[in-house]
Amino acid sequence: MARNYDLILAMESEHIAQVTAIAPEVRGKTMLFGQWLEQKEIPDPYRKSQDAFEHVYGMLERASQEWAKRLSR
């Protein structure tokens, strides 16, 4: 199934490793969602404080804007 996608975005490096273990042929098109941020990995805010959720939300917002810019070129 992963072969059908042009780009696969993961939140953490471990997720990339898991995807690659299942489908090694898609490694070249699997990247971190935070690829264009200083802190490339986006942490899971589950069971964390409201501040943690807001921080992750901000990271997701910035990362999505960067991806939109780069994909629209």
Q: Kindly report the CATH number assigned to the domain that includes residue 54.
A: 3.40.50.2300
* Dihedrals phi, psi of 21, to nearest 5 degrees: -65, -35
Read off the pTM. Answer: 0.89
Total of domains in the chain: 1
The secondary element (H helix, E strand) that includes residue 20 is helix 13-22
Whether pLDDT at 62 is above 90: yes
For 9, the domain range is 2-71
User: How do residues 6-54 score in pLDDT, each as one tens digit?
Assistant: 999 999 999 999 999 999 999 999 999 999 999 999 999 999 999 999 9
What pLDDT does 1 receive? 77
CA 17-73-6 angle, 5° bins = 35
Active site residue 44: yes
- Mapping DSSP to helix (H, G, I), strand (E, B) and coil, where does residue 46 land? coil
What pLDDT does 42 receive? 98
With bands split at pLDDT 50, 70 and 90, how would you rate the model's confidence at 57? very high
Candidates 2, 13, 18, 44; catalytic one: 44
What pLDDT does 11 receive? 98
